[in-house]
Amino acid sequence: MNIEVLTLFPKIFENFLQESMLGIAIREKALLVNLTNIRDFTHDKHHTVDDTPYGGGAGMVMKPEPLYEAILSVKKNRDIPVIYFTPQGKLLTQKIVTEYSKMENLILLCGHYKEIDQRIRDKFVTEELSIGDYVLSGGEIPAMAMIDAIARLQEGVLGDIDSAMTDSHQNGILGCPHYTRPPEFKGMKVPEVLLSGNHKKIDEWRQQKALEITLRNRPDLLKDDK
């Protein structure tokens, strides 16, 4: 899979793309992430990327011209989804991540300052996504969240694909508690059932715990309309 990231701050991504599972995915070429600096598409002396909003008000708006050229440079007339990260977007969920993880190409557009000029959204953006009901200073952290979530679903990235399939949210509910050695740590014991070797019982226990956690922390996930 090939992900094009358009940002004013490509350096933010550099360490992130080299570490842990993502580093492996990229080194093994399960994923290719290309960073493009939107500022490279300015033509004035000061490399201006933002301007004051029409109609007045606080904050700056990203100018359309550099964004237009930057998007065209990676899109190259191909029909590729362009995601723009904004608190106004639809909430990013594991279902959405799973759908995008199957695509060959994806463009992630990171805004900064207030927003980007609406005309760029109207012309190019195919989906607007938010990572939660809070405001960040730009789309870089949301883009990193999306890249990480997509990478771990690529074939050959997780040692055991079953591991991804039993994660929180993959089945519509949260995950269960996990334990590893030793069986007793500072007086705290691993639940007996996990040491029993009885896989039917273990599965039932995990399902029960996952439901309890979901009911406690995210009862909205258990509603019928989900």
Find the shortest distance in angstroms from Cβ 24 to ligand ADE. Answer: 26
Tell which one of 1, 25, 38, 86 touches ligand ADE (CB under 6 A). Answer: 86
Looking at this protein, which amino acid is placed at residue 100?
Answer: Y
- Is 12 a binding residue for ligand ADE by CB under 6 A? The answer is no
Backbone phi and psi for residue 4, each to the nearest 5 degrees, phi listed first: -100, 125
- Is 87 a binding residue for ligand ADE by CB under 6 A? The answer is yes
Nearer to ligand ADE, 66 or 142 (CB): 142
Contact criterion met (CB below 8 Å) for 113 and 61: yes
- Fill in the per-residue mask, 25 to 54: x = in contact with ligand ADE (CB under 6 A), - = not in contact: ------------------------------
From 10-18, 70-78, 125-133, 160-168, give the range in contact with ligand ADE by CB under 6 A.
Answer: 125-133
Contact criterion met (CB below 8 Å) for 7 and 37: yes
- Is 131 a binding residue for ligand ADE by CB under 6 A? The answer is yes
Query: What whole-number distance in Å separates Cα of residue 178 and Cα of residue 195?
Result: 12
- Is 132 a binding residue for ligand ADE by CB under 6 A? The answer is yes
The alpha carbon of 124 is separated from its chain's Cα centroid by a whole number of angstroms, namely: 20
Among 28, 3, 44, which Cα is nearest to 149's? 3
Size of the site for ligand ADE (CB under 6 A): 12
Q: Collect all residues with Cβ–Cβ distance below 8 Å to 98 and sequence separation of at least 6.
A: 153, 170
Tell which one of 7, 37, 101, 130 touches ligand ADE (CB under 6 A). Answer: 130
Query: What whole-number distance in Å separates Cα of residue 1 and Cα of residue 98?
Result: 13
- Is 214 a binding residue for ligand ADE by CB under 6 A? The answer is no
Angle between helices 140-151 and 94-101 (to 10 degrees): 70
CA 149-155-157 angle, to 5 degrees, is 60
**Considering only residues 134-163, where is the footprint of ligand ADE by CB under 6 A?**
134-136, 139, 142
From 41-49, 130-138, 154-162, 181-189, give the range in contact with ligand ADE by CB under 6 A.
Answer: 130-138
Query: What whole-number distance in Å separates Cα of residue 206 and Cα of residue 114?
Result: 44
**The token pair that represents 13 in the structure block:** 């991504």
Nearer to ligand ADE, 22 or 144 (CB): 144
Find the shortest distance in angstroms from Cβ 123 to ligand ADE. Answer: 19
- Is 7 a binding residue for ligand ADE by CB under 6 A? The answer is no
Binding site for ligand ADE (CB under 6 A): 85-87, 89, 130-132, 134-136, 139, 142
